[in-house]
């Protein structure tokens, strides 16, 4: 029995000697993969923190137009494809909309839609695009934008209110009233402004 044990031990030792480089390689791989994964996660976390800091600077500091654009350019260059890039485009679109630069505001929103990185952001971009179309009095185009929104239930109140506005602008008080009532039904709180709109189109 002892000789058998010695024979087995000898075979194991011989196998280990023959395959030592494979054993070592396996051990290296086993250690390296978790280390590489942790390193990658650490780098991602660092990038997220840096992007977050840039975004905070963008929304909380009183930047000039040049400073805002410089921060945005740095965001696009260093953190392209991140959620902060999308949020930055929303901020830029809002600023351009408020400045009546509708074409540029539209460009940022269309880029968000094209990337289609998040259904919520895509839906919001379409809703905001409809507001630009309304400003340009392209009411039918605005309705088409709203019809493309996938998250209609989540944004029912705002979509219904905007449609109510559109039909009011088009002079169709019956349709306008219908959508204002839909918006009021979807509203979680009393909305005096919306009620005033509804009352203004009632016969």
| Residue 76 near residue 88, CB atoms below 8 Å | yes
Question: Using one digit for the tens of pLDDT, what is the confidence trace for 31-64?
Answer: 555 544 443 444 455 555 766 666 677 776 656 7
Token pair belonging to 53: 């800091």
Bigger pLDDT: 4 vs 196: 196
Answer whether 0.85 is exceeded by the pTM. no
What pLDDT score does 32 carry? Answer: 52
| Residue 142 near residue 128, CB atoms below 8 Å | no
| Confidence tier at 143 by pLDDT (50, 70, 90) | very high
Instruction: Domains for the chain: give ranges and CATH numbers.
Output: 2-154 (1.25.40)
What ranges make up the beta strands (E) of the chain? Answer: none
Can you tell me the distance from the alpha carbon of 103 to that of 97, in angstroms, rounded to the nearest whole number? Answer: 9
Contacts of 52 (CB under 8 A, 6+ apart): 84
What pLDDT score does 129 carry? Answer: 96
Question: Using one digit for the tens of pLDDT, what is the confidence trace for 61-81?
Answer: 656 777 778 888 887 888 778
Bigger pLDDT: 2 vs 109: 109
What pLDDT score does 14 carry? Answer: 60
Q: What is the mean pLDDT of the chain?
A: 79
């Amino acid at each position: 029995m002892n000789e058998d044990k010695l024979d087995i031990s000898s075979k194991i030792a011989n196998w280990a000697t023959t395959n030592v480089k494979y054993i070592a390689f396996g051990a290296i791989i086993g250690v390296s993969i978790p280390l590489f994964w942790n390193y990658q996660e650490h780098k991602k976390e660092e990038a997220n923190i840096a992007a977050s800091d840039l975004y905070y600077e963008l929304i909380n500091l009183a930047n000039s137009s040049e400073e805002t654009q410089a921060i945005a350019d740095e965001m696009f260059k260093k953190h392209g494809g991140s959620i902060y890039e999308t949020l930055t485009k929303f901020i830029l679109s809002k600023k351009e909309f408020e400045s009546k630069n509708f074409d540029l505001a539209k460009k940022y929103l269309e880029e968000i839609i094209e990337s289609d990185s998040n259904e919520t952001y895509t839906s919001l971009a379409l809703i905001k695009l409809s507001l630009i179309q309304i400003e340009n009095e392209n009411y039918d185009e605005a309705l088409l934008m709203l019809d493309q929104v996938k998250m209609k239930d989540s944004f029912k109140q705002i979509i219904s209110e905007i449609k109510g506005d559109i039909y009011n602008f088009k002079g169709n008080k019956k349709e306008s009233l219908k959508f204002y009532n839909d918006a009021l039904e979807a509203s979680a709180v009393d909305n005096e402004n919306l009620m005033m709109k509804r009352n203004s189109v009632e016969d």
